[in-house]
A and B are shown apart, each in its own frame.
Chain A
């Protein structure tokens, strides 16, 4: 590129852009981006939709961020909803709200309060999920996985029209796995702790297995 200086992009109101390469992108309001967006920091208050790839060093979100291809970011923080049609890659995610990924998600550290829907394999070195609503992950893998139900959601479940705050997964694999209110076909790991409200088809563990009373585990295998 001849021009190496990357400009900033600031937009307020209902706007649209064709994407491009920027330093700082700041969106307030509603923005449609018709192309790939590469940027340093991205701050969005409101709703944005990228019809392409989104690559950013850091994303700060209050609102909704939709990406129709893949999303790669060093860090994602904020409140609201992140919807990715392709795959997601991020070193760190701290989100209050909903994370939806149609493809695979590779995350370093994830701290989520809300729900996750992932159609592929979701991996995280550390995952801390506080369930507020129904979550579905086809396959979950990682180092330390911890799934809990938030205290408020116990009350919310009584009135919520969307269903209970549970996690449904096909396969969960991790070195340390701690689950609550989870339904899974297979759980495999080093240390496995099955908390209340779980229904697990088969648990394979290497070192230790704890199962809370009231949770059902079909098969227990030590490997």
Chain B
């Protein structure tokens, strides 16, 4: 999937921010380092950004910074640590995750509405729901996916990672790898899904707000 990119010059012109602001936000880790993509152009090396992601991020920073300090903002923007919880009722009412997935993968306390879902848990459900509804994985495999996410996702500690789903001769498996991955398989392996969880978290956050 080729993402649409925007050059630094165009970005500053479009958003009206200054170099100082851009770099301040980078230093405060409001803009992740791996969004700075260096490419050579006919005028030499240029820096590019993934267009929709950076524009959405800058928009959020500009809207939020009036009532928050930059450091507080960093906590809000880091992809996974959103201090936001949702109850089961809200989750279904807002149609973020399907009832089927919610029922299948919630704890008893969450089912009863006594316990809310953390952002990480929401992300697991969201990812599973997305793949299920796309018809990429079976219900049985979704259990496997949940288990993989629950057991291993916290180990990345907020670092960018990708979810891979592979099949070979009818056997399926999931893997979580640190992004950007360099993985090569034998020809019998088919990579069914390659999903950036950071990006997914971003989308989820978009739906939550």
Contacts and interface: CB of A to CB of B under 8 A. Distances in A.
A170 B44 contact: yes
Interface string A171-184: 10111000000000
Contacts of A142: 19-20, 23
A189 B23 CA distance: 14
A188 B9 contact: yes
Contacts of B22: 141
B3 to A, nearest CB: 21
A46 interface: no
Contact of B20 (A107, A143, A202): A143
Given A106-B26, A106-B27, A188-B9, A171 B44 contact: yes
* Consensus secondary structure, chain B interface: helix
Contacts of A32: none
* Consensus secondary structure, chain A interface: strand
Interface magnitude class on chain A: 20 to 34
Interface in A161-220: 170-171, 173-175, 185-186, 188-190, 202
B20 A104 contact: no
A202 B22 CA distance: 22
Contacts, number: 50
B75 to A, nearest CB: 17
B18 A190 contact: yes
A170 B36 CA distance: 17
Interface of A: 89, 104, 106-108, 121, 123-125, 139, 141-144, 170-171, 173-175, 185-186, 188-190, 202, 223
20 contacts: A89-B27, A104-B33, A107-B27, A108-B27, A123-B26, A124-B23, A125-B24, A125-B27, A139-B45, A141-B22, A142-B19, A143-B19, A143-B23, A143-B24, A144-B20, A174-B20, A175-B19, A175-B20, A186-B44, A188-B9
